[in-house]
Chains A and B, each alone.
Chain A
């Protein structure tokens, strides 16, 4: 069952200049490190003056919905779920 979270989260990001793709590599949540194995979807939206990037990612055990606020460059975890 997915669970709404809405908490700050640590995220390592990677940028590949050849494919020009940006993707989260790992997430530290609840003092545990999770390696991202797949980005399901990356989408964007605006709220007020802020542009948000949403990464829906999976790790071997959990699904995370991560949101990057491009105004502050802070990450927020919005939702978790079992990855399978």
Chain B
């Protein structure tokens, strides 16, 4: 199976071969990830007595898209929820190991998870705009509710900029004061992306951001991700391998071990993973033999 055969010829995103020519395929160096990205070292995570992740090591390159793929229940979501300390929000959940954001351990004692989450934004599987707020207020929520002392004009500026970044401005500029729930599913998801961008994070985590969307909305979001990767470090979880192949620069493959703990079995440039997988299980997974 070749990857590009899955691809729509007119798709607006850069296809796989084009990106290789653009030179996105050098392996991630630890120095690079330490300086501007994220380094995960020996990360374990539990839900109560159940170990969900075991000894995860990952280098997230700055201003690149790193995809995490793997079958359902292998801990992909848990992994990225550890990158902004959302994992510990679940009762009984805990973890150990290091997650270095620009070289600083976000799990070091004295680090406030609230501050970490301002630096590492997140987009969830299902669009979850705040239902009681307008389109505008949704995007402004992060600024206002964080107690940042920003002027009204500044908020308006940031909202517009974020909506433009999320490729949503033209569609919603005339209904900024309408309830966010009136938007379509795809628009709501882009609104959630705009909302995350408004607090100017360094890293954006996306947890299967397209799984609740139709193909057209999905393509729009993928297009948007490529655009955002110019400025942001992006980690995306997906169980859609074609999506990982289409949008990501690097791919991490996770699998469940015997005891159902998630382990990382392969991490390399997306081209490597999809054309020349080193692990037999990766090959089986990406060729659709299981998962």
Is the pairing of A and B real?
no
